Amino acid sequence: TRLNLRGFDIRKGHLDGAAQRQIIELLRPILKAAPLFHPSTASGRKMSVRMTSAGTLGWVSDGAGYRYQDAHPKGMAWPAIPDPILSIWRDLAGTSRDPDCCLINYYGEGAKMGMHQDKDEADFSWPVLSVSLGDDALFRIGNTTRGGKTESVWLSSGDVVIMGGPARLAYHGIDRIRFGSSRLLPKGGRINLTLRVAT
């Protein structure tokens, strides 16, 4: 089913169980080559989400701030974005250009992500596409300025969200996950992939 919330195009159950399991298998060697790390914010606080990336660029955050860079914080190159993941973008993003970054967020028990805008990319006219895998997450959507009324929706494993147009600059965050609600990841938790054109 398809849902539109403030310009966010939400495709519930876009990926079936077999497609979700295939992506998890593809992520295994990526997480081995470019391990998840705990980014710290510019203010020095550790985020509860762990992250890594695939693609020519990855997103990092440390005492020097937020940015895209061509290597993992430990120095290794980011692994390539697997074709089955690129195919989701090619099917749904409606653009001529492939993403150069696949940010991989892992939410363990208690992890969340505060309300923020994604503004580190060079051109906001490209959409951002998100793939949810594993445990359910409460996704909150706000406005293009901080504050005001918000709306929330539960994202489940296999859901895909496309953020384009004015929604691209909306504040958004993950309030909480329902740890253990899915059996996709043997140790529980949630993985969110976001495909972006960063440069």
Question: Which residues bind to ligand MD3, rule: CB under 6 A?
Answer: 103, 105, 113, 118, 128, 130, 137, 161, 163, 168, 170, 172, 174, 192, 194
**Smaller CB distance to ligand MD3: residue 50 or 172?**
172
105 interacts with, out of Fe ion, ligand MD3, none, CB within 5 to 8 A per kind: ligand MD3
Tokens 């020519």, residue located = 56
Q: What is the CA radius of gyration of the chain?
A: 16
Smallest separation (angstroms) from ligand MD3 to the CB of 159: 10
Say how far apart CA 50 and CA 187 lie, in whole Å.
15
The answer to whether residues 61 and 113 touch, using CB atoms and an 8 Å cutoff, is: no
Smallest separation (angstroms) from ligand MD3 to the CB of 134: 11
The neighbour count for residue 106, using CB atoms within 10 Å, is: 19
Smallest separation (angstroms) from ligand MD3 to the CB of 28: 19
**Torsion 40-46-48-50 (CA) sign:** positive
Task: Summarize the annotated binding site for Fe cation as residue ranges.
Answer: 116, 118, 172
Smallest separation (angstroms) from ligand MD3 to the CB of 139: 6
Task: Summarize the annotated binding site for 2-oxoglutarate as residue ranges.
Answer: 105-107, 190-196
**Smaller CB distance to ligand MD3: residue 137 or 184?**
137
Q: Which residue is nearest to Fe ion (CB)?
A: 118
**Smaller CB distance to ligand MD3: residue 79 or 161?**
161
For residue 7, the one-letter residue type is G
For Cα atoms 84, 116, 80, give the angle at the middle one, nearest 5 degrees: 25
Task: Summarize the annotated binding site for substrate as residue ranges.
Answer: 59, 66-68, 120, 146
**Is there binding between residue 136 and Fe ion (CB under 5 A)?**
no
- Report CA 77 to chain centroid distance, whole Å: 19
For Cα atoms 142, 159, 198, give the angle at the middle one, nearest 5 degrees: 65
Tokens 């969200």, residue located = 161
**Is there binding between residue 118 and Fe ion (CB under 5 A)?**
yes
Q: Which residues bind Fe ion (CB under 5 A)?
A: 118
